[in-house]
Structure 1
Amino acid sequence: MSGFLDNCHWPRCECIELGDRRNLIVAIASGVLFFSGWWIMIDAAALYPDGGQFNHAYQTPGVVLTVAFFMINSVSNGQIRGDAYTTGCIGQTGARVWLFLGFLLAFGALIAASWILFGFYVVEYVQPDWPGIAVFLQNALIFFSAFLFKFGRTEDLWG
């Protein structure tokens, strides 16, 4: 099952050929998404400092997703394939388990943010609804930032 899409190729578009700048552009775009997510949450926390309108425990999925961001991107594709990491305590299997746990945390945090938005701010109709939207937007932006940084760059990030 591994590599079943290796022979599928998208048509090449010369107008967006990034070449050597691909890693730079992906890192900047990922950083902007990550920054925007946290900026939205800081804005909501600053606008509603009391616990009545915005329970500050709702910031937990953003923190969990930030940890998942670092877990997902701390493992290279070479370590997953077994090309780059052959020695050490746990090797390729440990790298795969670490990546899987990072994905679990990321999807769990995004689901928790959706639950906070719809369970507390939409169904119960708590006003104002901006804190619920901010929680979801923060987690969605960090989620897309993590996946853009993981799958959008080439293997050699700084080369």
Structure 2
Amino acid sequence: MANLLENLNIPPCIWFEGEARRNSTVSILSGLLFFMGWWMIIDAASVYPGTVAAGYHMCGVVGTLSLVMVNSVTNAQVRGDSYDAGCLGSRGARIWLFLGFVMGFASVIAACWILFADFVGAKEASQWPGVALFMQNALIFVSSLVFKFGRTEDTY
């Protein structure tokens, strides 16, 4: 079965060379996911005023801060190839990256907690603000992952 597609020759696509534009495509996709996340929570807060408490927005702020923390460290700094200065060197970059991921996971978990604790069980209120809050944090986290691991170069 492994030899079935071995001799299949597919001609290269001349009009689209994705590898040369990979970083810009990943950046656009990441920005679009980030925008969609914030747009959902802004929509929920404007359509259902008073249902999204001010404290609920902290999940999105922490998720955005996580995105900045995760993507401010290059892969070369984490590997220790290009960064050996500072008081911690590559170990400090790894700690910074770890704290960024912890904050991202925490914001997604907190949004999921708020969704099920305050919106799923409530019969009189709409569930869309809770779903929007969860989707905001999930999209911000996915945007962070796409931007961090989708790029080919370590240059920003």
Same-fold call, TM > 0.5?
A: yes
Bucket of the pairwise TM-score, normalised by the shorter protein: 0.7 to 0.9
Alpha-carbon distance between aligned partners in 1 of 2:25 and 2:49, rounded to the nearest angstrom? 36
Long gaps (5+) in structure 1 = 1-12
Alpha-carbon deviation of 1:135? 0.1
CA shift for structure 1 position 156:
3.6
Asked if structure 1 preserves the Cα contact closer than 8 Å seen for 2:108 and 2:134, the reply is: yes
**Alignment check: 8 A CA contact 1:121 1:132 kept:** yes
Contact 1:80 1:96 (8 Å CA) reproduced: yes
Deviation of the 1:91 alpha carbon: 0.6
Cα deviations by residue, 1:72-118 (Å, 9 ceiling, x for unpaired): 00000000000010112221110000000001000010001111111
Partner of 2:3: none
**Cα distance in 2 for residues equivalent to 1:87 and 1:126:** 57
1:12-31 matches, cutoff 5 A: 18-31=18-31
SS at match of 1:20: coil
Q: Within 5 Å, which residues of 2 pair with 1:97-136?
A: 97-125=95-123, 127-136=125-134
Provide, for residues 7-42 of structure 1, a one-character-per-residue CA deviation record: whole Å limited to 9, x for no partner: xxxxxx966861110000000000000011111111
Unaligned runs of 5+ in 2: 1-9
CA distance in 1, matches of 2:36, 2:117: 24
CA spacing shift, 1:126–1:17, aligned 2, 3 Å: farther
Cα distance, 1:126–1:83 mapped onto 2, change above 3 Å? farther
- % same residue: 53
Structure 1 counterpart of 2:57, from 56, 59, 62:
59
TM-score (norm 1): 0.84
Contact 1:76 1:155 in 2 (8 A): no
Count of aligned residue pairs for this structure pair: 144
- Give the drift of 1:44: 1.2
Return the TM-score normalized by structure 2: 0.85
C-alpha RMSD over aligned residues: 1.8
